[in-house]
Amino acid sequence: MGSWLAHSAAVAVVLVLLPLGLGDFAAYQLALYFLYAIAALGVGLCWGSAGFLPLGQAMFVGIGGYLSGLALIQFKGSALLLVLLPLAALAPGLLAFGLGLILFRGRRETGPYFALITLALSLLAFQIANGWNSVTGGFNGLKGIPGLPGLDDFSHAYWISAAALAVVIAATSWLSKAPAGVLWRAVAQNERRVAFLGFDVTLTKAAVFGLSGVLGGIAGVLYAPQQNLVTPQLVGFTLSAELVIWAAVGGRGSLYGPILGTILIGVLTAELRNTFAYWEVLLAIIFIVVVRWAPQGLVGFALPIVERLRPRPRGPAREAPARVLPGGGAAVAFEGIAASAGPVQILDGLTLAVDHPGITCLIGPNGAGKTSCFNLLTGELPAAAGSVRFAGRAITGLPPTGVTRLGIARKFQIPNVFPGLSVAENLNLALWGARARARDLLKLRLHRWSSPLLRELSERYPFLAEGRNRAGDLSHGERQILELAMALAMEPRLLLLDEPCAGLSPEETHRVIDVIRWARRRLGLAIVIIEHDMSLVKELADRVLVLHQGKLLAAGSIAEIQADPAVRAVYAGGTK
């Protein structure tokens, strides 16, 4: 809280002192770039935080501008403007949120698909604004827009824009530091893991896009009375491209990068436009140089210093609320499951059950369908036939987020963590996903959440307590253990482990075996392990299931499986 207040106060002081050395026109011009900076900040949140690039941000600026201009013309001086202007700023945000729900649904990685659609929408908006003469004024734009009531003076423009920018920075800074900001950065790094922590990835990305739409709307709502004119260029591709360039040059991954990039490049452009014929070429060169040699932008040069000075979360640890799961136990049943990948049949009428707590090992030759079982159970692989039941309910076709919320946690063969986040943030996300409500993600105190189980894990593995270390800087073995700790922190009723000791030394393997046994006793959960190391299977398994060619070949104790001639004919296993 103190850090947030200090940043907000510093921004306010800078904005108050800045116009003292400027003339009225320079302050007026700077006010325009403050509004553009608000819109560019929306690009930074989407691109730099959540990992998807909007190429049509100007569309939201233009929509806010047209709505604001029409309201000011129609209701000049009316008290209704106190309601209509905020609604004009929110309308682009609602549009962006709705578009996000549509565009992100069912797609784990949006990439160029999303960027190109937003570009097309911006071009469409330009055509509508250019041709709808009766409403938008067509090519000439919406003219004669009055200023804000009581603030029509030329000198007020700076203070209105500065106040809006200060409020936006304060609010965005809060969100970036809150758990919501950590979640956005996690989505950019590993959407799959986010879904398996119980978060709705589509809703999260749509919310960020909606927020960027609101920021664009705020810029447009204030642009109209400041400039007294809104033209189709305000919704077009040119401004959208400039916003992307400004965010990239300043530093899309930081709060202040898009703002500084907009102001610095914007002011430089304004100065060069009338004095240097090739100013656009120079701007393009600056953009190329920054993208190639300074991908974090100008602000990136200061980020190492900022990270070292970043304060640790203060205050005592708070107990995370107990996880509440629906009843029904942890029994899993596959009934006649068939699944394929293109022409290849992966699972062929598979029927099996894990109907009691304990450790079950799933073994079989490569290509037998072991990982496919996990993928189908957790909603990543659709079933062509048959059904899956868990805890007494049908879950066939349920997405990973829904499966996770029922109490299933999964650890992947290759460590699946968030490399750009700290160890503490990785563990916190596991706690939040299993327990926090959406509104809780705005509360800074969630950073202090802990649980008895996490504290016990930290005693076993001290590096888990060194929360400021980046997960990407850990060794392979430590990342394996971190992901296992994340899965256990969710306190599931069923834990799926895909070769949890892959790539570990013998010593690390024994430590992981100890943790798995401890977790089984501590949580009383059912654990299913895919494993090729038969020595590990002998040490851990209460029951063994053998798959071959997508079917259940055998089931029983390790002694029964080793004695089964059908198993010995197709699978020998291995040891470290």
Tell me the per-residue pLDDT of 509-560, one tens digit each, with 9 for 90 and over.
888 888 899 989 888 889 999 988 888 888 889 999 999 988 999 998 989 9
The continuous run of DSSP H or E covering 163 comes out as: helix 156-177
Q: Do 381 and 509 belong together in one domain?
A: yes
Question: What residues have CB less than 8 Å from 532, skipping those under 6 apart?
Answer: 363, 499, 573, 574
CB-count exposure of residue 232 (10 Å: 0-12, 13-18, 19+): buried
Number of domains composing the chain: 2
Contact 246, 70 (CB under 8 A): no
Q: CB atoms < 10 A from the CB of 507, how many?
A: 9
In a domain, 241, yes or no: no
Q: Which of 343 and 59 is assigned the larger pLDDT? A: 59
DSSP H/E element including 344: strand 344-354
CA-to-CA dists, residue 41 to 68, 256, 302, 389, 435, angstroms = 20, 8, 19, 45, 30
What length does the chain have?
A: 576
- Strand partners for 339: 347
pLDDT at residue 19 in the model: 66
- Residue 525 domain-assigned? yes
**pLDDT (tens digit, 9 = 90+) per residue, 129-185?**
999 998 998 888 899 898 887 776 666 888 888 899 999 999 999 999 999 999 999
Contacts of 345 (CB under 8 A, 6+ apart): 338, 339, 550
Looking at the structure, tell me whether residues 48 and 191 fall in a common domain.
yes
Instruction: Return the pLDDT at 477.
Output: 87
- Residue 104: C-alpha distances to residues 47, 204, 245, 454, 573 (Å): 15, 10, 24, 33, 42
d(CA 171, CA 167): 6
Q: Are residues 219 and 338 in the same domain?
A: no
Bridge partner list, 70: none
Range of the domain at 192: 35-235
Q: Among residues 214, 235, 256, which one ends one of the domains?
A: 235
Q: Are 454 and 489 in contact (CB under 8 A)?
A: yes
Flag whether 46 is in a domain.
yes
- The residue assigned the tokens 């490399």 is 419
11: pLDDT confidence band, cut at 50, 70 and 90?
A: low
Do 225 and 366 lie in one domain? The reply is no
Say if 89 falls within a structural domain.
Answer: yes
Are residue 523 and residue 399 in the same domain, yes or no?
yes
Specify if 296 maps to a domain: no
pLDDT tens per residue across span 353-382: 888 788 999 998 888 889 999 999 999 989
Residue 533: inside a domain: yes
- Return d(Cα 485, Cα 511) in angstroms, integer: 13
Say if 41 falls within a structural domain: yes
- Domain stop point among 235, 268, 293: 235
Distance (Å, rounded) from C-alpha 503 to C-alpha 404? 26
User: What pTM does this model have?
Assistant: 0.91
What is the chain's mean pLDDT, rounded?
87
| DSSP secondary structure letters along 500-569 | TTTT--HHHHHHHHHHHHHHHHHH--EEEEE--BHHHHHHH-SEEEEEETTEEEEEE-HHHHHH-HHHHH
Inside any domain, residue 181:
yes
CATH number for the domain harbouring residue 523? 3.40.50.300
Query: Is residue 178 classed as helix, strand or coil in its secondary structure?
Result: coil
Number of other residues whose CB lies within 10 A of the CB of residue 136: 22
Domain end, chosen from 235, 270, 287, is at 235
Q: Do 230 and 361 lie in a common domain? A: no
